[in-house]
């Protein structure tokens, strides 16, 4: 099965969480049920209010990480019967809405996520080349 967008949820100004059904048929009537939640974060200047400006600067982040960063979370189960597939997807969606959406809506989420991504990428860029 091809990937399809199930729902888009507004997280805040300029932020939309997109839920994707990435399920695929394994064999017979058995499925690998996958729900992927994706949040694309553009490093635009109006993303932060003055007191939430990231450290390091937005320009340094853009230079190292590019213009956007993706937050992705997957919910997955394998060998699910065809009749259980849709109810399981609905359960996954409910869990995303009750657990993940409030977490993403926290005022400090974007700043902390981008700072963590920056630190990790900077650390990896300082490792010796293994080629």
Domain boundaries, the chain: 4-125
**pTM, whole model, 2 decimals?**
0.86
Closest Cα partner for 3 from 27, 37, 30, 28? 37
pLDDT in tens, the chain (131 residues): 589 999 999 998 889 999 999 999 999 999 999 999 999 999 876 665 555 556 677 788 888 899 999 999 999 999 999 999 999 999 999 999 999 999 999 988 988 999 999 999 989 888 776 65
Bridge partners (DSSP) of residue 37 are: 19, 73
Give the 3-state DSSP-derived string for 92-105, with helices as H, strands as E and coil as C: HHHHHHHHHHHHHH
Closest Cα partner for 37 from 116, 86, 99, 82? 99
Closest Cα partner for 32 from 3, 72, 6, 8? 3
């Amino acid at each position: 099965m091809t990937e399809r967008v199930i729902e888009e949820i507004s997280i805040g100004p300029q932020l939309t969480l997109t839920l994707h059904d990435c399920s695929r048929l394994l064999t017979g009537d058995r499925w690998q049920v996958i729900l992927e939640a994706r949040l694309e974060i553009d490093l635009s200047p109006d993303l932060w209010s003055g007191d939430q400006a990231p450290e390091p600067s937005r320009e340094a982040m853009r230079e190292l990480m590019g213009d956007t960063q993706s937050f992705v979370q997957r919910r997955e189960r394998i060998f699910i019967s065809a009749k259980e597939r849709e109810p399981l997807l609905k359960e996954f969606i409910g869990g995303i809405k009750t657990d993940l959406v409030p977490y993403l809506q926290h005022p400090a989420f974007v700043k902390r996520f981008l700072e963590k991504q920056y630190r990790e990428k900077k650390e990896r860029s300082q490792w010796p080349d293994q080629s």
